Structures are given as structure tokens and as C-alpha cells.
Amino acid sequence: MSAERARYDYDLFCIGAGSGGVRASRVCANYGAHVAIAEHGRFGGTCVNVGCIPKKLLSYAAHWRDDFSIAASFGWSVGEPSFDWPTLLANKDREIARLNGVYERLLLDAGVAIFRARARLRDAHTVEVGGKTITARHILVATGSWPRVPAIPGSPLGITSNEAFHLEELPRSALVVGGGYVALEFASIFHGLGVATTLAHRGERLLRGFDGELCERLAGEMAGKGVKIRLRANPARIDPGVQVAFEDGSTARYELVLFATGRKPNTANLGLEDAGVTLAADGAVLVDRYSRSSVDSVWAIGDVTNRVNLTPVATAEATWLAKTLFHDEPTPVDHDNVPTTVFANPNLATVGLSEEKARERFGAVDIYRTHFRALRDSLSASEEKTFMKLVVDAASQRVLGAHMIGRDAGEIIQGIAIAVKLGATKPQFDATIGIHPTAAEEFVTMRSKASG
């Protein structure tokens, strides 16, 4: 490494200090590499600033509505609850500012040089940043992604999740466009905070690619709580006001339109093409299993590669890359059995294969499912149902997928994911003693195969 060091200013120059870039820079530096990072915005990227963290805080806030609604059944009288959006935003912003500082400190403590400016590739080993020209043995692109808005007339009248975290005041009514993670999460947040919320999705079913039964049940649960869900509905035009004309000819007025219609990789104006880096049609950096681009010294991880766009995947890709680059341990990415949660209300969490995918790949599968009213809701009028489903390979009895809708589904599926990742079988699930009384125990007590 020392001869190489003499040739270049740094062993690694990372562009972007989000989840992936910060993790990669730190771990590479800990392995002894001389590392620099460039970030023109706030430390922590999408997840910390306009994603996972503030979203989860808003989601916690929204859940109080349910808690207040069942409190009386446990003997509490809580009066008429009222909600103050500016207080929540101020507290949220304080926490985000703290996390920005934590991320910066993590980099400094690891000895990573920080450039607070936009960086751009000049060639395979050179970047320009803040008026300086820097060379590096390896360049890592970890620039993340940005919300994408459909090109319909009036779309600038709508907002994206970026702005939703900073609204001066909550609207009385909102249209959320899309049927993915962001749409479902924000529809639940808005509804929980008292906004009359409509979700319009162009497709037949929410959450493309997820287990179909799960998607249908989630739509039912969200509708049961009061979110108006319109499927096969898509805005064609937005007029000032904010009057929305849908493709089917219907119109409606909302105080706010939120586009949650996907994200695009941040690869514009980075000089990637000039350096010879091949991009996919959607702009993502094309990489191999080791996160290497078409240029040997340029690597990319996280959302900018548009593989599995989740924070813990980006940080895992960062760790694998650091091992490959500076620990003599070439480590390919492992995107199998990635657990994930949609923090809608109720939560939907899943690991492994959907029933549809499992049938496609394995042919015969056994399905186990349970659908029940949680003990927590049993004293109240709440109609909410918890749903769990196991997809099992009929031949080997291996559990291929575990799916849940219900309170804290993400917390529960995280543990189940270890078993699924280790290849646990249904008999091994059955041999596990449940914790009583919990909802989670149902995962080890489902005995009867569902018919069909």
C-alpha cells in the first residue's frame, strides 16, 4: 500500500456522507487506509435527514392516536387530546442535528479527512472538490438517491418526502400519490396526526413485489383506520388550489399533494460518464458483486446502485467493500433474505420469499397463516387484526418466508430473520417455545397448513 500511497493523495476518496459512505470511510480508515470524504449537505444522508429517522419519529407521533383511542378501555380518561406539529418538528430537528454531529464525529475520530463541498470525478483516480484536485487509489460513489416526481402538468404544486419533513403547518387534507414504502408510511403518519388522507396508487395492489395477500390485508387495515385508499387511480393534472384531476376523469381538492412515486439515483453532474463509468438506463451506477463499477478504481454502494435500497443494506455493502479493499478479504454482497419493514400503521414486516415467489422457485409450498385480535386490543372496540404468515418449502420444510402485519412487526421479524437466514425448518420453528402472552409466539405455534 505504501508505494501506492506515494502515488495518490488518498487510498480512498468517498463521495457522499450518508449511511453507506460514512460506514465505508470509517471501516476503511480503521483498516489503516488513508481516507477522505466529500459531503456538500448534512451528514447522515437521506436516512438521518429526510428518511428513516425523522420518518420513524413522525410515525411514533402518529401512533398516539391509537393509544389514546384504546386508553379508556383500560380505565384511563385522557380528555380531548390535541396535537402540536411545530413542537414535534422542533424536537425532531433537534434530534437530527444531534445525529448530524454524531456522524461527523465518527468520521473525525476515525481520522477521515472531510471536504465540505460537492465532488466530481475527473478521471478514474481524480476528483475535483472545493476547487482542489485530489487523487485517490480508489473512489467510492455513495451519493444516494432523490425523490422522483411524475412529469404531469402542475406536478411542482405537489411536494415530496423531502419537504414533508419541514411543512410549516399540517394540511387539513392530503393526497399521497404512490403505493410504495414512502406513500404508505406518510399516509399513515398524516392520518394519525389528524389529516384527512387519501392514498392514490396507479396499480391494482400496493407494494409491488411483496406477498400479495399481505398487501391486500394492509390496505384493508389502513382503510379500517380511516385512510381513504384509491387503487387504479393516478393524477393526470394538478391545478392551483390544489385541485387534482385523475386519469379516470374524477377530480378532488386537497390542501397538499405528496408525490411518493419512487426515487432516482444521484448520478447527474458527478463526471461519472467522463471517467468511463457505465450507468444503467435509470442512472444507477452499474456494479458487480463486489460493488465495482465498469472502471476498476471506482466503486459504488447504496441507493446510487439501485440494488436493494435500504439503509442497513447500504451499511452492509460498505462493510463488505472495506473488507474487499483493505482487509485482503474479497467479500461479495449478500442480498438474500433481507428483512424489511414498511412503517405504515399497522406495520408490515417481512423476510424471505413471498408466497408467489416461493411457488415460482420451489413449486410446492406449505402455507401457514394466523389472523387474530391482539390481547392489547381485546378490551377496546379496536377492529385491528394482527396477521402472520409462514411460507415453507414442502420438500425440505425450510421456512422460505415470514410475513407479518401488526404492532411492532419490524421488531418481531428482525428476530425471525435470523432463523430464516440460517435456513431454519418449520419443525425447528415448532420446537421453539413461545413467549406467552405475546403476538410473536404465534410464529412458533402455527400448526395447521392453510388450505390453498
- The set of catalytic residues is 436
Does 312 interact with ligand NDP (rule: CB under 6 A)?
A: no
Q: Which of 400, 450, 439 is nearest to 423 (CA)?
A: 400
Contact 12, 35 (CB under 8 A): yes
Nearer to ligand NDP (CB atom), residue 284 or residue 342:
342
Nearest to 198 by CA among 234, 241, 160: 234
The verdict on 417 binding ligand NDP (CB under 6 A) reads: no
Query: How wide is the angle at C-alpha 309 spanned by C-alphas 10 and 370, nearest 5°?
Result: 145
Q: Which of residues 223-242 bind ligand NDP (CB under 6 A)?
A: 234
Choose the binding region for ligand NDP from 91-99, 122-130, 256-264, 290-298 (rule: CB under 6 A). 256-264
Least separation in angstroms between residue 73's CB and ligand NDP is 30
Q: Is 19 in the site for ligand NDP (CB under 6 A)?
A: no
Instruction: List the beta bridge partners of residue 340.
Output: 350
Cβ 311 to ligand NDP, closest distance in Å?
A: 7
- Touching ligand NDP, residues 337-356 (CB under 6 A): 340-343
Of 58 and 365, which has the nearer Cβ to ligand NDP? 58
- 345 vs 66: CA distance, rounded Å: 9
Sequence-separated (6 or more) residues with CB below 8 Å from residue 422:
none
Cell of 351: 423476510
The one-letter code for the residue type at 414 is: Q
- 320: cell is 463488505
Q: Does 154 interact with ligand NDP (rule: CB under 6 A)?
A: no
In angstroms, rounded to a whole number, what is the distance separating the alpha carbons of residues 38 and 130? 9
Q: Does 20 bind ligand NDP (CB under 6 A)?
A: no
Q: How many residues bind ligand NDP (CB under 6 A)?
A: 24
Q: Is 33 in the site for ligand NDP (CB under 6 A)?
A: no
x-or-dash string of contact with ligand NDP, 193-212, rule CB under 6 A: --------xxx----x----
User: What is the C-alpha radius of gyration for the chain, rounded to an integer number of angstroms?
Assistant: 24
> What is the closest distance, in whole angstroms, from the C-beta atom of residue 307 to ligand NDP in the complex?
10
Q: Which listed range, 92-100, 134-142, 219-227, 260-268, lies at the site for ligand NDP (CB under 6 A)?
A: 260-268
CB 254 within 8 A of CB 276: no
Find the residue with minimal CB distance to ligand NDP. 180
Q: Which residue has the cell 438517491?
A: 145
Q: How far apart are CA 245 and CA 234, in angstroms?
A: 9
Interaction site with ligand NDP (CB under 6 A): 150, 177-183, 185, 201-203, 208, 234, 260-263, 309-310, 340-343
